[in-house]
A and B are shown apart, each in its own frame.
Chain A
Amino acid sequence: MKTTMKNTKSIYGIFVALICLGVMFAEAQSPKAKNGTFALTNATIETVTRGTIANGTVIISNGKITAVGTNIQVPAGAEVINCNGQKIYPGMIDTGSKIGLLEIGQIPQATDERESGDIIPQMRALTAINPNATAIPVTRIAGVTTTLTLPEGGLLPGTAALVNLHGYTPDQMYAGFEGVVLNFPNTGRRGFGDRRTEDELKKASEKALATLNDAWDKAIQYHKLDSATGGKGVGYYPEMQAMVPVIRGERALLIEVNMQKDIQAALKWVKDKKVKKVVFMGVSEGWREAENIAKANIPVLAGPVIAIPNRDYDRYDAQYANPGIMRKAGVKVAIRSNEDGNGNYRNLPYHAGFAVAYGMTKEDALKAITIVPAEILGVSDKMGSIEVGKSANLFVCDGDIFETKTQVSHVFIEGWKMPMQSRQTLLYEEFLKREPGLNKN
Chain B
Amino acid sequence: MKKIFIAIVAVGFITAGFAQDKGSVLIKNGTVLTVTKGTLTDTDVLIKDGKIAQVGKGIAAPQGVRVIDATGLFVMPGIIDAHSHIALDQINEGTNAITPEVYTGDALNPFQLSIYRALAGGCTVSHALHGSANSIGGQSQTIKHRWGTYDANSLKMEGAPRTIKFALGENPTGHGRRDGTQPQSRMGVEFVIRKAFNEAKEYSAKWDAYNKAKLVKGFRGAPPAYSLRLETLADILSGKIILHCHSYRADEIQMLLKVCKDFGVTRVVFQHTNEGFKVAPEIAAAGAMASVFADWWQYKLEVYYSTAYNATILTRNGVVTSINSDSPDLIRHLYHEAGKTQKYGGLTDDEALALITINPAKQLGVENRIGSIENGKDGDIAIFKNHPLSIYGVPQYTLVDGIVRFDREKDAGDQRIMVDPKQTVDATMYETGHAYDFCMSGTEWLFEEVENNKK
The chain A residues found within 8 Å of chain B, CB to CB, are: 102-108, 110-111, 114, 116, 134-135, 153-154, 186-194, 198, 258-262, 282, 284-285, 304, 306-317, 319, 338-344, 346-347, 350, 353-354, 356-358, 400, 402-407, 423-425, 427-428, 431-434, 437-438
Contact = CB atoms under 8 A, between A and B. Distances in A.
B279 to A, nearest CB: 9
Which of B299, B431, B436 has the most C-beta atoms of chain A within 10 angstroms of its own C-beta? B431
A89 to B, nearest CB: 15
Contacts of B170: 106
B277 A347 contact: no
A259 B430 contact: yes
A126 B391 CA distance: 34
B428 interface: yes
Interface SS, B side: loop
Contact of B430 (A106, A284, A340): A284
Contacts of B405: none
Contacts of B63: none
Contact of B413 (A111, A187, A308, A315): A315
B281 A434 contact: yes
Contacts of A105: 298-300
Nearest to A282: B430
Interface string B200-235: 000000000000000000000000000000000000
B429 A190 contact: yes
A361 B415 CA distance: 27
Interface string B298-338: 11110011111100110010000000000011001100100
Given A402-B391, A404-B389, A186 B113 contact: no
Interface residues of B, number: 71
Nearest to B433: A304
B454 interface: yes
Which of B116, B316, B328, B390 has the most C-beta atoms of chain A within 10 angstroms of its own C-beta? B390
A410 B309 CA distance: 19
B117 interface: yes
Contacts of A350: 336, 391
22 contacts: A114-B454, A188-B427, A188-B430, A191-B430, A191-B436, A284-B432, A285-B428, A306-B333, A306-B336, A307-B432, A307-B434, A308-B432, A316-B117, A342-B298, A356-B392, A357-B391, A358-B394, A404-B342, A428-B344, A431-B280, A438-B281, A438-B285
Contact of B298 (A135, A314, A407): A135
A191 B329 CA distance: 13
Nearest to A428: B309
Contacts of A114: 454-455
Interface of B: 113, 116-117, 120, 170, 277-278, 280-282, 285, 295-301, 304-309, 312-313, 316, 328-329, 332-333, 336, 339-340, 342-346, 386, 389-394, 411, 413-416, 423-424, 426-436, 441, 444, 447, 450, 453-455
Nearest to A338: B433
A232 to B, nearest CB: 37
A344 B295 CA distance: 7
A190 B429 CA distance: 5
Given A304-B434, A405-B339, 9 more contacts: A134-B298, A188-B429, A312-B427, A315-B413, A342-B299, A402-B392, A405-B346, A424-B308, A427-B309
Contacts of A186: 430
B454 A104 contact: no
A317 B332 CA distance: 10
Contacts of B434: 304, 306-307, 341-342
A414 B315 CA distance: 38
Contacts of B390: 403
